[in-house]
Structure 1
Amino acid sequence: MSVLRPLLNGYLRLVEKRKLARTRDVHKIRRDFAKTARLLFRAPRGTQITRSRLVGAGEVLRVTPAQTRSDLVIFYIHGGGFVFGSPDTHGAMLGALAQRLGAVAVLPYYRLAPEAPFPAAIEDVAAAYQALLDSGVSAQNIIVGGDSAGGALAFNLLSRLCAASGPLPRALFSFSPLTDFLHEGASFRENAAREAVLPAAQAGLMAEMYLAGADPRDPDISPLLASYPGAPPVWITVGSTEILRDDARRMAAHLRDQGVSASLEEEHDLPHVWPIFHNTLPEARVTLDALARWITQVPPTATES
């Protein structure tokens, strides 16, 4: 592990986690995170990041590396507890992954809670996925990804596609996904103090804003309760000290129980969604390298439903 890991964890725990824990104003949370992203996160040189609109859906952020050599498209759903974050805050990280793959990334803008609670976000994501297909991109060339709350939405999308018999993406990956809205994983309590980013109480509050009275046991909400018949390969990574560690562990086991090829990479004491710190944290770059290798090894599906 690098010397930067404990330094970053210490800063996040003492500054960012405390700030998030005491803030109830979602507009301030959004402004603060957007400012942090502009200051700290940079895409590789030559990356083009532009807004565009998909016919039949809303706006997306398109991230194109300096050199493209692949037909793959990364369809990435940003995190932020369903109440903050945007494609703009995550575009630099996707630029780093896109560079490794020589592929384009597309990040949909979805409506946020509490202004637009469930099911607004998943409806927007599903519409953007369908619009991407309608634009001529083959499902077998789409890699779906997401982090944290965006990981939940990625699995929500996958379960919907499986239920409708496709067309399914080639693969799905997720950084530190939320998969259980009941927060029944032991790590939600055991790691509450060690977690570097997410205050456990705030995570529950944001989930409540998103649910707005909807049942957290609904399989369309909690990925851990959904079915994934015929799902493509899945790759998940999580830090050992995250409150969502057991969400990732149980999700990987849940997928395997259904015959899905699911890889789980659990890393020691890394912060929530650490690949976003790719500009400064060596472990973030190692993880992006590993993910890129995994994606390139996933074969295309033989046919599309």
Structure 2
Amino acid sequence: MSKEQREALDAVLRQGDLDTGGEVLALRAAFDELMSQIPVAPDIRQTPIDFGGVDGIEVVVGEPSPDHVVLYFHGGVYVIGSAAASVSLVGDLARRTGYRTVTVDYRLGPEHPYPAAVEDAVSAYEGLLSQGVEAGRIALAGESAGGGLAVAALLALRNAGTPLPGCAFLMSPYVDLTLSGDSLAERAALDPILGPDALRTRVPDYVAGGDAADPLVSPVYADLRDLPPLLVQVGSHEVLLSDALRLAARAASDEVAVILDVTPGVPHVFQAYAAMLDEGGAALDRATTFLTSHLNGSA
């Protein structure tokens, strides 16, 4: 675990010119260009798929278990991002777990505000069930907005009486679109990626005049009872640190099995930089232990 690695990554991220508060189409183009420069390891196999009426990419490494699936939701403040942009990180997870992993292209705002993303997440999960995959052998996972979407999908599934997945893995989850967390201000100078002003600009794109405190928009305000076990990972240098801390506290209060895993000195979704940051690889290793312990024990 190297201080030099953390400082080098911070410098690289601060050199980026991605303005998450800018015009949507230009922002998407800049993001796609940035993500296209991230290499995908040659052992990762990608297959476009459609399940539950939702497009996605199946990501596998080697000969994955046919019985276990990680259903993944990308980040991007509900406005940018894509399944394709998440393949490198999802592939790292697929390699470690030995599971089939599916990353989803859910609909984005402002063209498709809430509840479109939640509807797509639920449809994708139900698509897996319709293929005969057992609920207890599915894990939901996601980063940033995708982590928040994973929790919202769990809530929607629970409310509908649908069998729930075996567990969920959440990286730097964005779960409070009211932006009331203390870390929005306290960590602003430390976070090289996200800032409170840019987040405020993007909230209306997803909420679209609705209530940002709706539990399916901001799950930190939800009753989380009866959800499956959660692993919440976050870095101490994130403006969204408070989101993760409060979500884990709420889960514990609602008697949900939860592990809160805070890594000091690292940025938003630091697991994506595992190739250059030891802490990223170590966090994915811990996530693998969590996922396999919950899914492999499923009947």
Relative to the length of structure 1, the TM-score reads 0.93
Shift of 1:24: 1.4
Q: Matched residue of 2:19: which SS? A: helix
Equivalent-residue separation in structure 2 for 1:90 and 1:50 (angstroms): 14
CA distance in 2, matches of 1:227, 1:166: 17
> 2: distance between equivalents of 1:293 and 1:71?
17
The ranges of structure 1 where at least 4 consecutive aligned residues each deviate by more than 4 angstroms after the TM superposition are 299-303
Correspondence for 1:284:
280
SS of the residue aligned with 1:83? coil
d(CA) in 1 for partners of 2:274 and 2:297?
31
Verify the 8 A CA contact 1:41 1:276 in the aligned structure 2: no
Distance 2:262 2:87 in 1: 24
Instruction: Decide whether aligned partners of structure 1 residues 302 and 70 sit closer, same or farther in structure 2, where only a CA change above 3 A counts.
Output: closer
Provide the secondary structure at the position in 2 that maps to 1:131.
Answer: helix
| Conserved 8 A contact 1:70-1:102 | no
Distance, in Å, in 1 between the alignment partners of 2:272 and 2:213 is 30
RMSD between superposed Cα atoms in Å:
1.6
Letter in 2 for 1:221: V
Structure 1 pair 112–299 and aligned structure 2 pair: CA distance change class (3 A) = closer
SS in 2 for 1:252: helix
Is the partner of 1:118 in helix, strand or coil? coil
TM alignment of 1:1-305, pairs within 5 A: 1-2=1-2, 3-13=4-14, 15-16=15-16, 19-20=18-19, 24-43=22-41, 45-54=42-51, 56-69=52-65, 71-298=67-294
Work out whether residues 70 and 101 of structure 1, in 8 Å CA contact, stay in contact via their aligned partners in 2.
no
The structure-2 alpha-carbon separation of the partners of 1:73 and 1:293, relative to structure 1 and needing over 3 Å to count, comes to same
Gaps spanning 5+ residues in structure 1: where? none
Question: Matches of 2:287 and 2:205 in 1, distance apart?
Answer: 32
Deviations 1:17-69 (A, max 9, x none): x5315x512222222222222212423x3221111111x41211100112324
- The verdict on how the C-alpha distance between 1:30 and 1:166 changes in structure 2, with shifts beyond 3 A counting, is same
Range that drifts further, 31-40 or 127-136 = 31-40
Checking the alignment, whether the CA contact within 8 Å between 1:181 and 1:216 is kept in structure 2 is yes
Residue-by-residue CA offset, 1:231-251 (whole Å, 9 max, x unaligned)? 111000111111100100010
Please say if residues 137 and 295 of structure 2, whose CA atoms lie closer than 8 Å, have aligned partners that are also in contact. Answer: no
SS at match of 1:153: helix
CA distance in 2, matches of 1:272, 1:70: 32
Q: What secondary structure does 2:18 align onto? A: helix
- In terms of mean alpha carbon deviation, does 100-109 or 275-284 score higher? 275-284
What is the CA–CA distance in structure 1 between the aligned matches of 2:296 and 2:267, rounded to whole Å?
32
Q: Within 2, Cα distance between the matches of 1:143 and 1:70?
A: 14
Name the CA distance, whole Å, in 1 between partners of 2:295 and 2:209.
41
Q: Residue 299 of structure 1: CA displacement? A: 5.4
Supply the distance in 2 between the matched residues of 1:123 and 1:201 (Cα, whole angstroms): 28
Residues 236 and 266 in structure 2, CA contact (< 8 A), matched pair in contact too: yes
TM-score (normalizing by structure 2): 0.95
Percent identity over the alignment is 34
Q: For residues 67 and 146 of structure 1, what CA distance do their matches in structure 2 show?
A: 23
Q: What 5-or-longer segments of structure 2 have no aligned partner? A: none
